[in-house]
Every structure is written in C-alpha cells, then in structure tokens.
Amino acid sequence: MKRAHSHLADVLKIDLDFIPPVEWFREWLFTRAVLLKLYDIEIKKVNVCTSSSGKGLHIWLHIDRKIGDEEKAKLQFLLGDDHRRSAYNNLRVTYFRPYSKLFDVLFNYKFSDSL
C-alpha cells in the first residue's frame, strides 16, 4: 500500500471515557510514562480537561520528540485512548492520508486545566 508523507507531532492525545479517582489517575499516568520509555520517549508536560459530556477526561501528553501520524495513532491506542477513536485514527492514517490534518479532530479545542 502506498503511503504519503507523514505529519509530525509532539503531543499524544488520549480520550478516557470516565474520570478515575485521583490516585488511579496518578498511577495511570506513571504507567504511561513507563510505556513511552520503552519507545525512548519522555513525557515533558501533561494537560488534562474534562470532556464536554463531563463523564471523561481528555489528556494531552507533550513528548520530547516529534513522531509521525502512524506512530502517533499506534501509541495513542497503546496508551489507552478510546478504542473506537483509535480505529478511526488508524483508518485515517492508512487510507485517508490526504486528510490527515483532520487527525485527532476530537481535540480541536483549548484545554482548560494543566497538571
């Protein structure tokens, strides 16, 4: 399958469908850092906001290097992003490369809280 060039990004965006207790979230974040370290990536900054439904969280993990769309989609899935969203992102980077600027459209608004 022919692939076009990849856009580069240094932010991973994760959609959690519930708001965990604070201690669970801290441990979740620690395990995300451990997972990314396996890929030689470090988290530099974390931003979090409540989803528009008020039932989940949107998390931005700012990382120490730029990665391509395909790697970004895979890492977001591995980090626990909403699986339906991950499936759509995979389709976008695999089949709809000319429209990859729509990638992560869920997160096209400003975040309100920062950790």
Distance CA 37, CA 61 (A): 13
Residue 2 belongs to a domain: no
Tokens of 11: 């932010």
Q: Considering only CA atoms, which of 113, 43, 33, 42 is closest in space to residue 78?
A: 33
The one-letter amino acid at 71? E
51 is in which domain, residue-wise? 8-114
Residue 16 belongs to a domain: yes
pLDDT at position 100 is 55
Tokens of 105: 């459209």
Q: Is the dihedral of CA 101, 5, 32, 78 positive or negative?
A: positive
- Please tell me whether residue 5 adopts helix, strand or coil conformation: coil
Residue 80 belongs to a domain: yes
| Arithmetic mean of pLDDT, 70-88 | 91
Residue 32 belongs to a domain: yes
Residue 92 belongs to a domain: yes
- Residue 2: pLDDT band (50, 70, 90) is very low
Residue 3 belongs to a domain: no
Higher pLDDT, 8 or 12: 12
Q: Is the pLDDT of residue 5 over 70?
A: no
Residue 29 CB coordination number (10 Å): 16
Q: How many domains does the chain have?
A: 1
CATH number for 36: 3.30.70
Helical segments of 1-115, H only:
22-38, 69-78, 83-95
Residue 27 belongs to a domain: yes
pLDDT at position 86 is 86
